[in-house]
A and B are shown apart, each in its own frame.
Chain A
């Protein structure tokens, strides 16, 4: 019996997303259990709020959830289809939130997220993708080093006289495009929190976009260039830890940068953390003291970049043989390293807050629908997803919705404005600051 395992012909295999054929195995093993679509059954709240797949809930053909997409992906790998607008929609109308990956990996060892990423790489390689709105973002990044096309010189405008930025420090704050250009309140709040904790921090001499959208839409060559450039900049700075207040940037730096360079997160040369981890640690060891009362009934939204998608990256290549077993073995990234406890610890330490949980939380959270270029290319999907989530906010009677990502914040704000509602939308940095 032991010999059977090793006599079956073995094929080379790898999790390299540049080649869709690396995921033919995964795409062909989908069992249509739709764990990719449903909330984890143990946590299923009832007949409302049953799904956590935004694209599959927005468009109810199976083809828009992973179970359908993987079948389509297989056909693409086999060269069965030309790239049509419909195919592009199936591939790109999707915030790549990781719900499908985590849902599938509850039971199986299939790399769903990587398959979907690889599909986008293929779309770009074939000259079909990305979407026009993504191309615009790419041009903005190339021209102005931010996804909005805002003047690059304005990047540090968020730094006001109340915030002290060190010339050199172990801690480097990466503000990101949103905090720098459209959501200064987040960068300012973060800067003040870092100051209040007594941890000096520096910023990048010349901060560029992390390249999130580039990577997410399949422009891996461009994204890799940026990754190399940014990593080098951090190393040059001597920083030991990079902290960010944006969930998308966090995911990029921690997971997709090493992925693109075929190294492990642990081998980046510096630690990558989110403000959530920083603040949680600082509150626990007394460096941050939230003493001011914040009278608010709020609920916390687990942004994808700091939940399902942020397990440290470990590359893999090797061989696959008998019964699909691989060698060397690989510890699967199942979404267990999500920052679920940290925000809740932080919020429970703030006096006056009433924290209520929505029906879908942590790895079951329903993505806001905005991230990774989705809102720009598919505003309808982003609006739909935000509205799905806002229903939950209303259900639990929260006055405020808090997240750890500017994309979530802006998308929710826009949806609320459209309804003319009174729900406040805040970044967690703002809530922490209010308590100091």
Chain B
């Protein structure tokens, strides 16, 4: 149903005519693709569309009024913080209202109690700059320093610095959200105070509705304020240096340094990361896919392919680099202690240190996810999992095996099993599997591969982040929980009976499989004849 004149007028009264538009030119600017995260896929082509209107609220009050108007006039809406997450965060139905949160940029920081309170328009690098200035740091998720802090914290966001500080959901403190029916929910200490310093309770913790490990993509309301933990860092300044594209933070090596180690085998890689966690040292540790290192070195796309073209399965198999970030949280003496323990660990596996520049080009303030598109033009992380180290160790190779059957159109990676690291002092292992392809090629196999990975995870009994709205809910639902999908749909039905908030999520991927001709052969699971949601 088109956004009526009356609805538009009511919305205009909330923000002023300057901050709302239904001009098709301006709305075209909010198209999901064709480029971007998970773009150039069938999902993007089949499931997304340009908005019917775009609105830019400034306050929680604005958002609440907008949501209430949408409920009254039956206007579907989707919350949008930067739009970086690709098609799943864009409009899925015609005449939908896109709520662009970028004007909501309020920011507060309590450096005595180590937390910041932000609105959805605040992105990571400004937050990190403010933290570093005050002797603290946050984890800039792999999505990049340009992503919205709120969106990343309620979806997925980890980096090698997750070595110490855990899941994003453990770092969320008080939260304020506008529920799909326009009610406001404040959690943690925000429920009773104007201060978001604590996140738990009261009693049962409704932060459970926010994330689901990797988020509900905004289909259960709009977070308008979120407080997150800041971690104490060290006192020396990290100076930005260099001219684009070669910018980086110069590291005060008596208190912060990256170290690269070459180790003899994949098992040695794992052992080093494991022992670092167990020794409770360091600020970050990661094993890096070889082609990321090529990206870091390269001068451009063609140069990358020249570098990469020299590699093979053999060279990949024999090249094992572990990167470690040491942080002198306590003192220089502590830094020396960490380094001594680290050298002990590396020596135990027969590893050697390689030259490392005293500069941070990625992870502390900048996280260079954009470079992922350099090689091929299209990319998605087809899974990212925090589980155990043994889980991480086998997960990547299992993916690599499956991916080989879909290469091409995927970029040849010579069996590289993706990115792994260790979280929460080695209590968890992390694996992320990334795929790249040329969007000009036939991308139907990309769509099929995506669902194929879900089946693989189920078959091989892996955990996966791609649950909920990321994969067909009726495929994954019965197999995890079991039947987590029933609870998710119950919660959705209770808080959004109209399915007005970002329809048809969380059944979007189910709908995609029904609509796309080339996906029909993939469907070998049960789902109802009619999905339990109103039609939009």
> Which residues of A are at the interface with B, using a C-beta cutoff of 8 A?
1-2, 4-5, 8, 28-35, 38-47, 50, 60-64, 67-69, 71-72, 74-75, 80-81, 84, 86-87, 90, 102-103, 105-109, 322-327, 329-332, 334-336, 338, 340, 362-363
Q: How far is the CB of A357 from chain B (nearest CB, A)?
A: 12
Contact of B145 with A by CB under 8 A: yes
- Can you list 19 contacts pairing A with B, beta carbon distance less than 8 Å? A28-B35, A29-B377, A40-B244, A42-B125, A47-B105, A50-B123, A63-B25, A67-B83, A68-B28, A71-B31, A74-B34, A75-B28, A80-B28, A106-B370, A107-B371, A108-B371, A109-B300, A325-B302, A363-B244
With contacts A42-B240, A47-B130, A106-B247 known, is A60 near B56, CB below 8 A? yes
Give bound CA distance, A44 to B375, whole Å. Answer: 26
With contacts A1-B309, A41-B366, A108-B370 known, is A61 near B26, CB below 8 A? yes
Q: Which of A32, A40, A43 has the most CB of B within 10 A?
A: A32
Residues of A within 8 A of B31 (CB): 71, 75
Q: Which of A60, A84, A105, A335 has the most CB of B within 10 A?
A: A60
With contacts A32-B83, A46-B133, A340-B243 known, is A62 near B301, CB below 8 A? no
Given pairs A329-B302, A334-B245, 5 additional interface contacts (CB within 8 A): A32-B84, A34-B146, A40-B366, A332-B300, A336-B244
Give bound CA distance, A41 to B56, whole Å. Answer: 24
Residues of B within 8 A of A39 (CB): 125
Give B18-65 interface residues, CB cut-off 8 Å to A: 19, 21, 23-31, 33-37, 39, 54, 56
Task: Indicate if the CB atoms of B249 and A42 lie closer than 8 Å.
Answer: yes
Residues of B within 8 A of A71 (CB): 28-31
Q: How far is the CB of A39 from chain B (nearest CB, A)?
A: 8
Residues of A within 8 A of B249 (CB): 42
Residues of B within 8 A of A332 (CB): 299-300
Count contacts between A and B, CB distance < 8 Å: 203
Checking A33, A43, A327, A335 against B370 with a beta-carbon cut-off of 8 angstroms, the contacting residue is A33
Task: Indicate if the CB atoms of A43 and B28 lie closer than 8 Å.
Answer: no
Task: Indicate if the CB atoms of B301 and A109 lie closer than 8 Å.
Answer: yes
Checking B125, B305, B373, B441 against A31 with a beta-carbon cut-off of 8 angstroms, the contacting residue is B373
Contact of B102 with A by CB under 8 A: yes
Residues of A within 8 A of B441 (CB): 8
With contacts A4-B408, A60-B103 known, is A35 near B309, CB below 8 A? no
Q: How far is the CB of B78 from chain A (nearest CB, A)?
A: 14
**Chain A residue nearest to B305 in the complex (CB):** A325
Contact of B248 with A by CB under 8 A: yes
Give bound CA distance, A46 to B277, whole Å. Answer: 32
Task: Indicate if the CB atoms of A323 and B412 lie closer than 8 Å.
Answer: no
With contacts A72-B25, A75-B28 known, is A43 near B122, CB below 8 A? no
Task: Indicate if the CB atoms of A86 and B26 lie closer than 8 Å.
Answer: yes
Give bound CA distance, A354 to B361, whole Å. Answer: 31
Residues of B within 8 A of A50 (CB): 123, 125-126
Residues of A within 8 A of B412 (CB): 1, 4
B194-207: CB near A (< 8 Å → 1, else 0) gives 00000000000000
Residues of A within 8 A of B26 (CB): 61, 63, 68, 86, 90
Checking A30, A41, A75, A336 against B35 with a beta-carbon cut-off of 8 angstroms, the contacting residue is A30
User: Dominant SS at the B interface?
Assistant: loop
Give bound CA distance, A43 to B239, whole Å. Answer: 9
Sorted nearest first, the 10 A-B pairs with minimum C-beta distance are A68-B29, A63-B29, A107-B370, A41-B125, A44-B125, A41-B145, A41-B366, A42-B247, A106-B245, A63-B26
> Which residues of B are at the interface with A, using a C-beta cutoff of 8 A?
19, 21, 23-31, 33-37, 39, 54, 56, 82-84, 100, 102-103, 105, 107, 122-130, 133, 144-146, 240, 242-249, 299-303, 305, 309, 361, 365-371, 373-377, 408, 411-412, 438-441
**Chain B residue nearest to A362 in the complex (CB):** B243
Checking B28, B366, B370 against A63 with a beta-carbon cut-off of 8 angstroms, the contacting residue is B28
Give bound CA distance, A34 to B36, whole Å. Answer: 11
With contacts A44-B126, A334-B245, A335-B244 known, is A62 near B373, CB below 8 A? no
Task: Indicate if the CB atoms of B128 and A44 lie closer than 8 Å.
Answer: yes
Checking A324, A325, A338 against B243 with a beta-carbon cut-off of 8 angstroms, the contacting residue is A338
Give bound CA distance, A362 to B375, whole Å. Answer: 28
Residues of A within 8 A of B102 (CB): 60
Residues of B within 8 A of A80 (CB): 28
**Chain B residue nearest to A363 in the complex (CB):** B244
Give bound CA distance, A7 to B143, whole Å. Answer: 33
Task: Indicate if the CB atoms of A30 and B36 lie closer than 8 Å.
Answer: yes
Q: How far is the CB of B325 from chain A (nearest CB, A)?
A: 16
Residues of A within 8 A of B245 (CB): 105-107, 334, 336
Give bound CA distance, A29 to B438, whole Å. Answer: 10
Task: Indicate if the CB atoms of B373 and A29 lie closer than 8 Å.
Answer: yes
Q: How far is the CB of A306 from chain B (nearest CB, A)?
A: 14
Give bound CA distance, A35 to B133, whole Å. Answer: 23
Task: Indicate if the CB atoms of A323 and B373 lie closer than 8 Å.
Answer: no
Residues of B within 8 A of A30 (CB): 35-36
Residues of A within 8 A of B107 (CB): 47
Q: How far is the CB of A134 from chain B (nearest CB, A)?
A: 20
Checking A67, A84, A86, A325 against B301 with a beta-carbon cut-off of 8 angstroms, the contacting residue is A325
Residues of B within 8 A of A35 (CB): 146, 370
Give bound CA distance, A62 to B28, whole Å. Answer: 10
Task: Indicate if the CB atoms of A329 and B300 lie closer than 8 Å.
Answer: yes
Give bound CA distance, A19 to B369, whole Å. Answer: 31
Task: Indicate if the CB atoms of A323 and B82 lie closer than 8 Å.
Answer: no
Residues of A within 8 A of B368 (CB): 107
Residues of B within 8 A of A330 (CB): 300, 302
Residues of A within 8 A of B373 (CB): 29, 31, 107-108
**Chain B residue nearest to A340 in the complex (CB):** B243
Residues of B within 8 A of A327 (CB): 302
Task: Indicate if the CB atoms of A61 and B438 lie closer than 8 Å.
Answer: no
Task: Indicate if the CB atoms of B84 and A34 lie closer than 8 Å.
Answer: yes
Task: Indicate if the CB atoms of A329 and B303 lie closer than 8 Å.
Answer: yes
**Chain A residue nearest to B140 in the complex (CB):** A41
Residues of B within 8 A of A2 (CB): 309
Checking B123, B247, B375 against A38 with a beta-carbon cut-off of 8 angstroms, the contacting residue is B123
Give bound CA distance, A40 to B367, whole Å. Answer: 11
**Chain A residue nearest to B367 in the complex (CB):** A41
Residues of B within 8 A of A74 (CB): 34
Q: How far is the CB of B296 from chain A (nearest CB, A)?
A: 11
**Chain B residue nearest to A307 in the complex (CB):** B243
Residues of B within 8 A of A44 (CB): 125-126, 128-129, 145, 365
**Chain B residue nearest to A48 in the complex (CB):** B126
Checking A84, A108, A329 against B25 with a beta-carbon cut-off of 8 angstroms, the contacting residue is A84
Give bound CA distance, A71 to B30, whole Å. Answer: 8
Task: Indicate if the CB atoms of B438 and A324 lie closer than 8 Å.
Answer: yes
Give bound CA distance, A44 to B39, whole Å. Answer: 28
Give bound CA distance, A325 to B361, whole Å. Answer: 25
